[in-house]
Structure 1
Amino acid sequence: MKIYHNLSEFTKLNNAIVTIGTFDGVHFGHQKIIRQLVAKAKSDHGESVILTFFPHPRLIIDPENQDLKMINTINEKAEILKSLGVDHLIITPFTRDFSNLLPDDYIKNILVNHIGTKHIIIGYDHRFGKDRTGNLTDLKAAGTHFGFSVEEIMEQDIHDVAVSSTKIRQAILDGDVSLASDYLGYSFSIFGRVIKGDKIGRTIGFPTANIFVEETYKLIPGDGIYAVTVEMSCKSGDEQQTPNTKHLTFKGMAYIGQRPTINGMTRNIEVNIFDFNQEIYGQDIKMNFLKFLRHDVKFTGLDALKVQLQKDKEETLNYFSSL
């Protein structure tokens, strides 16, 4: 899949099969549309194109409301779309100027002249252009004039999926990562860099990797303990001779919260990786959230916390053995 970070990078195609949207989460409903897109491109000997936007339009149109968090970072979204077989992903910077494009200009200048759209697949309620005044009727009329066809995803087809990005965000905030994964069709994950912490965990036998997530718009699950898998690149072999790097997956349990037992002041993301003792400061890792174990609570001291963490580990291992 080719990725373009601006329309100016994209070269007009002869037979572009297009869909448009933010596709946050790339959940089952989105996947249904995208699979239709890819299949149509193959049957028409064309190329599939997704036009998406960054940042999310709501953050530009309503700048006073910055509470919206995204299920995927833009890079995570791109990886998922690539796995679905999309040929081209255009990530258009969403600006005030872009939001003020009149619907007719949007269709003519972007879809027709810039992309080369011959067929567009779109939801029944899709809106575009200044003040979201453009609609499906406008697209069909323009298609007759400019020579592209419009395929509508019917309301019932979308409602049959019974899932939305809003529902998924709420499930993640509630800590219900199992439900979120059911909606998404894959495990919700966090990608971040391992940074140095205060090393309290290792004093009680549960060393943790502290994770820094660079993208401030990334949605973080609710406070608590979770069963997770951790993906990273690890060195194997004799580093002085012929070290090899392998992409490995480990089991573990993650913590999100302010560490009330030690009167913590900041919200931390930490993970205790089972059967692992390598130095990984500065390394990027991916955490896949599989199951919520318990809420964050304040214990009487580190000894009580250690006892609970041992129980958490046993519950996590039992979960993995049941899979």
Structure 2
Amino acid sequence: MKSFLSLQDDIKLASSITSVALGKFDGMHIAHNALFSCLDKSGIILSIEQDSGSLLPKKYRDFYAPNDIYNLPLDVVREKSDIEFVEFLMDILPNLEKIVVGYDFRFGKDRYYYTFDLQKCFIGEVVIVDEVFYKKLSVHSGLIKELLINGNLKQANKLLGRYYEIRGNIIKGQGIGKRELYATINIENDGFLILQEGVYAGFIQLGEQSLISPFYPAVIFVGNRLSTDKSFAIEGHLLGCELEVKDKVAGFYFAKKIRENKYFDNLADLKAQITSDINKASKILKLETCEVENG
């Protein structure tokens, strides 16, 4: 994600931008997509936020953005009045004709200013996108976070419009899986919200975010290894294939929760449970794959 302030040094590019969508955009979910659809071809997405845990960290948002996306630290505009805020945008984007915001957009000191203040100060068009609902649920990042933390992955994925993902560097695990249980790929979390502990059916993509890299069906564990070293882990076992993993990074995509995290007295009982998890995940993902293929 590029810095919005970098446009001050590229007058030609800045002058070509005629529309901007303003918001936090920490989830890149279906309500955010509603804003993006109002941009023209020369429009950009401007994410204004503080550095904090999010559904989708900044470095991964370009992949889901239909237009170029820029970041602006909240502190840069936090204290500005409505007029000062618009002047700031126009100073950087001199040919700005349209601003797109959500119905609940607030800005300025103590979030004092509303969308109608933006309309009064900006001489161009202000598009205010109505609240987006999914089955009577108002779609916003806060709700999606609550759903993930409380184990409602199905609803969270519907509001996201995609599988929830966690990406990060591939790291070395305990080694117990390969020797006595099932081999796993382990990753460290690169700033994503941790969903509820447990075992999930999902997919693993090896390497960077990509439209062409394959997604391998997997059973995924998130939580503390209660039956072994009690350390926290995000690890996945690939279903139906054995690969020599040479990639340095991977993405874990969560389709459905299978069970809660449990303690087992011995590795034999744990392996029996993992075998059952693998069988359940295989059945779930066959159905999920058919659902995706059939739209």
Structure 2 residue aligned with 1:136, among 115, 119, 122? 115
Contact 2:206 2:247 in 1 (8 A): no
Q: 1:90 corresponds to which residue?
A: 70
2:31 paired residue number: 29
TM-score, reference length from structure 1: 0.79
Residue identity opposite 2:48 in structure 1: F
Code of the residue aligned with 2:113 in structure 1: it is G
Which amino acid is 2:271 matched to?
K
Question: Among residues 82, 102, 109, which one is paired with 1:123 in the alignment?
Answer: 102
TM-score normalised to the size of structure 2? 0.86
- Determine which of 25, 47, 56 is the counterpart of 1:52: 47
How far off is 1:163 after superposition? 1.6
User: What is the letter of the counterpart of residue 105 of structure 2?
Assistant: H
Which SS does the other structure have where 2:221 is aligned? strand
- For residue 103 of structure 1, report the CA deviation from its aligned partner: 2.5
Shift of 1:253: 0.6
Cα pair 1:127 1:135 within 8 Å, conserved: yes
Unpaired segments ≥5 residues, structure 2:
291-295
| Residue of structure 1 equivalent to 2:64 | 80
Q: Give 1:254's match in structure 2, choosing from 190, 211, 220.
A: 220
Deviation at 1:162, TM superposition (A): 2.6
Q: CA deviation at 1:18?
A: 1.4
Alignment partners' CA distance in 1, 2:21 and 2:238 = 40
**SS at 1:183 equivalent:** helix
Indicate yes or no: 2:285 matched with 1:283.
Answer: no
Write out per-residue CA displacement over residues 40-63 of structure 1, whole angstroms, 9 at most, x where no aligned residue. Answer: x25xxxx1121113435xx5xxxx
Q: Note closer, same or farther for the CA distance 1:250–1:118 as it changes in structure 2 (3 Å cut).
A: same
Deviations 1:159-204 (A, max 9, x none): 9773221111111112322221111111111111111122111222
* Partner amino acid, structure 2, of 1:320: L
SS of 1:251 mapped into structure 2: strand
Residue 24 of structure 2: SS of its match in structure 1? coil
Number of equivalences: 279
Deviation at 1:231, TM superposition (A): 0.9
| Shift, 1:263, TM fit | 4.5
**C-alpha RMSD of the superposition:** 2.3
**Paired residues of 2:21 and 2:45 also in contact (CA < 8 A):** yes
Aligned to 1:153: 129
Contact 1:29/1:161 (8 A) holds in 2: no
- 2-structure distance, mates of 1:321, 1:153: 37
Equivalent position to 2:90, from 103, 112, 129: 112
Partner of 2:169: 193
Hey, what's the Cα distance between the residues in 1 that align with 2:213 and 2:247?
16
Q: Which of 1 and 2 has greater Rg? A: 1
In structure 2, distance between residues paired with 1:104 and 1:204: 65
Q: Which amino acid aligns with 1:247?
A: S
Give the 3 Å change call, closer, same or farther, for CA 34–161 of structure 1 in structure 2: farther
